[in-house]
Amino acid sequence: MNTAVNRLASQSSPYLLQHADNPVHWQPWDAEALAEAARSDRPILLSIGYSACHWCHVMAHESFEDEKIAELMNRLYVNIKVDREERPDLDRIYQVCHQLLTRRAGGWPLTVILTPRGHAPIFAGTYFPREPRPGMPTFRRVLTEVESHYRANRQAMDEHDEAMRYNLQRIAVPAPGARPDDDAADHAATAMLEYVDPRHGGFGGAPKFPHASALSCLLDAAYHYPADAGDLRAALTLSLDNMISGGLFDQVGGGFFRYSVDDAWQIPHFEKMLYDNALLMPLYAAAGRELDNGDWRAAAVDTATWALREMQLAHGGFCSSLDADSDGGEGRFYLWARGEIDTVLDGNEAAVARALFGTDRPPNFEDRHHLCRARRFDAAARHAGLSGPDADDAWHRARVRLLAHRDERPRPDRDEKCLTAWNAMMIRALARTGRLLGRADFVDVAERALAYLSTHHADGDRLHAVSRDGRAHLSAYLDDYVYLADALLELLQYRWRPEDLDWCVRLVEQVLDRFEDPAGGFYFTANDHEALLHRPKIAADDSTPSGNGIAAQVLLEVGHLLGETRYLDAAESVLTAFSGEITANPVGHAALLEALIQSRHPPTRVVLRGEDSPCAERAARLALRYGRRVRVYPLGSTAADVVLAGRGFTAPRGVVAWVCTGSRCLAPITELPSLLDTIDETLQ
């Protein structure tokens, strides 16, 4: 074994490759590195980050590229680099450890020093500077003092390992839950209003994240709880409006940045992540459709257009992220120097852009303008002396020219690894946005990405978590399986393909066989996964919805679709296991809360069977008419009858529809007017 060299050059992760030339003898997390730590009795310095992370870059430049600091790291530690997007299992475990040791939330870069055999944390932190800063020790000081602590307490380290394992297990096991009663979802949903920022929308303060799952819950709850619908929709409207008018949304190129550093959504952290956009796109499409808001529908289309333009890879899958930094600084690709817009545009174009973005005002970020809407568009048009089609045309031309000018700048780096879970979210997003907004082209792109996952990420009934350049590796996690099953269910509502239903069912069976905890809920890793310090079982959402929440939603949908009570029972087991968490913190457990709402208020499902093309067209019309309040499954005449057989249906000739709510189905309907009347009555 040889840890006297940097071994990252052979890795596929762009983040690890960024560190392949460091003088630090970085190792990947593998058997060789772990064995060397145990053999040499040197602690492990575990550094976790990702390629688009701004502060990861800062720490790398300050410390990991410094020869003297690297010499100290190499002498005292076995140094391991981990891409948190490839190894979310390790990241989740050691983020929790960070919280246990520091009583503070973690983040990236995550810096954890581990015992060499038990891999329990001795010390945890995030970014450490090279030079002293108020309240922050230097990285050199951390390195020397923690290693000295390890040597001085060497005999107690085995006990430390066991104590940490015990504490992780203790906090990971939820208190015994009771089956949520019918009012629990109502109370939890309306309790979310207490956390809404009444001035700017969203939840909490800076740094301010979109919390797409929680906003989606507000939309669902407003439909199911009419007594609170006004307040729920007002909170949703305030949030969605401010997010797309501020700097969280890219006003020129479309798509959302990761989070805002201020309460008012004005200045973002300039990373663009695939998952944020995959969550926000269908939310804006659904809310825009249901509440008849053209600005929201346009934001959904702009986000989809951005994803296709900047995130789709040649093989059809989607890459992970765009870096926050470019041209030597954070956000430089997106910022505009004073007067720069006036050099790009002229006439009406410049007038409407100046009025819309207020660029005659002082810059808002490092002597540059990050574009936020200073006025509503109609007010900006009046300010520019324009109205109607003239204003629309001027802004359209301005945006095209601004985007073309911006594209000439040095671009942010792109992380081109393809993650199963994040691709599944984008597939679902494009399928839902296409279905709700009548954009068949978006659905076509979703199906192409699905074909890539099917070809490269599936190994029989099992999945790989990640690929790059078509080469897949790493065992998949709970999120990979349930997000992909959820995407397949969304695609089935647009175009019925028996093989998609079959794959969805096989994914669900894998989840039940390999991830389920008999005590309730699902582990993040499978039962044959690499043994780690802890096996996490995650209820709370973070930047993405919890796998347990999406698992419960998928089990409910497949269970009702196929009439399979085993799946419905498994969903109820999840909701019971985490009922206490849902009640105590509904915003943080929004995916589980949405499953609870669906469990207590099952959506109406229409199974439509007939000739393939007319059936699909009619299903699309129904979807456009009812939005996501009704789930329509168009079974063409050549489709497998598994859904009908599971429900005990027989299929008469011609077009026929079954309308079901929960486990109750009405008699077959053969006339479209009768079908519409029945759905309308069911929704009342």
pLDDT tens across 128-142, in order? Answer: 999 988 889 999 999
Stated as kind and residue range, the H or E segment containing 458 is strand 458-459
Return the residue matching tokens 């996501």.
628
d(CA 621, CA 311): 30
Q: What is the per-residue pLDDT for 382?
A: 92
Indicate whether 258 pLDDT > 50.
yes
User: What percent of the chain clears pLDDT 70, i.e. is strictly above it?
Assistant: 94
Q: What is the per-residue pLDDT for 184?
A: 83
d(CA 325, CA 53): 9
358 pLDDT band, cuts 50/70/90, is very high
pLDDT tens across 542-559, in order? Answer: 999 999 999 999 999 999
Q: What is the per-residue pLDDT for 632?
A: 84
Indicate whether 562 pLDDT > 70.
yes
DSSP state for residue 64 in the 8-state scheme? I
- Give, in degrees to the nearest 5, the angle at Cα 449 between 260 and 412: 40
pLDDT tens across 58-115, in order? Answer: 999 999 999 999 999 999 999 999 999 999 999 999 999 999 999 998 999 999 999 9
Average pLDDT over residues 508-527: 96
Indicate whether 639 pLDDT > 70.
no
pLDDT tens across 494-506, in order? Answer: 888 889 999 999 9
Longest dimension (CA), the chain: 82
Q: Specify the range with the lowest mean pLDDT, choosing from 112-126, 401-415, 668-682.
A: 668-682
d(CA 113, CA 125): 9
HSE at residue 608, side-chain half, CA atoms within 13 A, is: 31
Helices and strands, counts by H and E, the chain: 27, 19
48 pLDDT band, cuts 50/70/90, is very high
Stated as kind and residue range, the H or E segment containing 268 is strand 268-269
Return the residue matching tokens 């031309």.
397
d(CA 636, CA 655): 9
Find out whether 311 and 274 touch, Cβ atoms under 8 Å.
yes
387-399 burial, b for 16+ CB within 10 Å, e for fewer? Answer: eeeebeebbebbb
Q: What is the per-residue pLDDT for 1?
A: 47
Find out whether 415 and 321 touch, Cβ atoms under 8 Å.
yes
Average pLDDT over residues 639-664: 68
Q: Please give the model's pTM, rounded to 2 decimal places.
A: 0.95
Q: What is the per-residue pLDDT for 640?
A: 45
Find out whether 333 and 326 touch, Cβ atoms under 8 Å.
yes
Q: What is the per-residue pLDDT for 648?
A: 62
Strand 121-125, strand 272-273: pairing: unpaired
Residue among 15, 76, 9 at smallest CA distance from 40: 76
Find out whether 477 and 532 touch, Cβ atoms under 8 Å.
no
Residue among 592, 509, 500 at smallest CA distance from 549: 592
Indicate whether 607 pLDDT > 90.
no
Q: What are phi and psi of 658, to 5 degrees?
A: -115, 130
- Other CB atoms within a 10 A radius of the CB of residue 648 amount to 8
Q: What are phi and psi of 401, to 5 degrees?
A: -70, -40
* Domains parsed from the chain with CATH numbers: 8-172 (3.40.30.10), 184-327+415-600 (1.50.10.10), 334-408 (no CATH), 604-683 (3.40.30.10)
628 pLDDT band, cuts 50/70/90, is low
Q: What is the per-residue pLDDT for 645?
A: 61
Find out whether 315 and 461 touch, Cβ atoms under 8 Å.
no
Say how far residue 206 (Cα) sits from the centre of its chain: 19
Q: What is the per-residue pLDDT for 652?
A: 59
296 pLDDT band, cuts 50/70/90, is very high
Q: Could you give the 3-state DSSP secondary structure of residue 80?
A: strand
Average pLDDT over residues 363-383: 94
Please name every residue paired with 111 in a beta bridge, in sequence order, or none if there are none. 47, 125
Please name every residue paired with 234 in a beta bridge, in sequence order, or none if there are none. none
Q: Specify the range with the lowest mean pLDDT, choosing from 424-428, 590-594, 649-653.
A: 649-653
Q: Could you give the 3-state DSSP secondary structure of residue 474?
A: strand
Q: Specify the range with the lowest mean pLDDT, choosing from 132-136, 151-155, 280-284, 463-467.
A: 132-136
Q: Specify the range with the lowest mean pLDDT, choosing from 438-452, 525-539, 601-615.
A: 601-615
* Residue type at 640 in one-letter notation: A
Indicate whether 653 pLDDT > 80.
no
d(CA 428, CA 434): 10
Find out whether 571 and 555 touch, Cβ atoms under 8 Å.
yes
List % helix, strand, coil for the chain (3-state, nearest 5): 50, 15, 35
Average pLDDT over residues 200-218: 95
**Cis peptide preceding 207, ω within 30 of 0:** yes
Say how far residue 598 (Cα) sits from the centre of its chain: 20
Q: What is the per-residue pLDDT for 668?
A: 83
- Other CB atoms within a 10 A radius of the CB of residue 600 amount to 17
pLDDT tens across 384-429, in order? Answer: 999 889 999 999 999 999 999 999 999 999 999 999 999 999 999 9
Q: What is the per-residue pLDDT for 609?
A: 79
Q: What is the per-residue pLDDT for 552?
A: 98
Per this entry, what is the length of the chain? 684
Q: What is the per-residue pLDDT for 674?
A: 83
d(CA 13, CA 213): 28
Residue 594 tokens read as 């949405």
C-alpha dist (Å) from residue 415 to 109, 319, 324, 458, 483: 17, 6, 11, 22, 21
Indicate whether 631 pLDDT > 90.
no
- The mean pLDDT of the chain is 92
Sheet (strand 272-273) strand order: 272-273, 321-322, 414-415
Q: Could you give the 3-state DSSP secondary structure of residue 530?
A: coil
Average pLDDT over residues 164-180: 79
The residues near 294 (Cβ < 8 Å, ≥ 6 apart) are 288
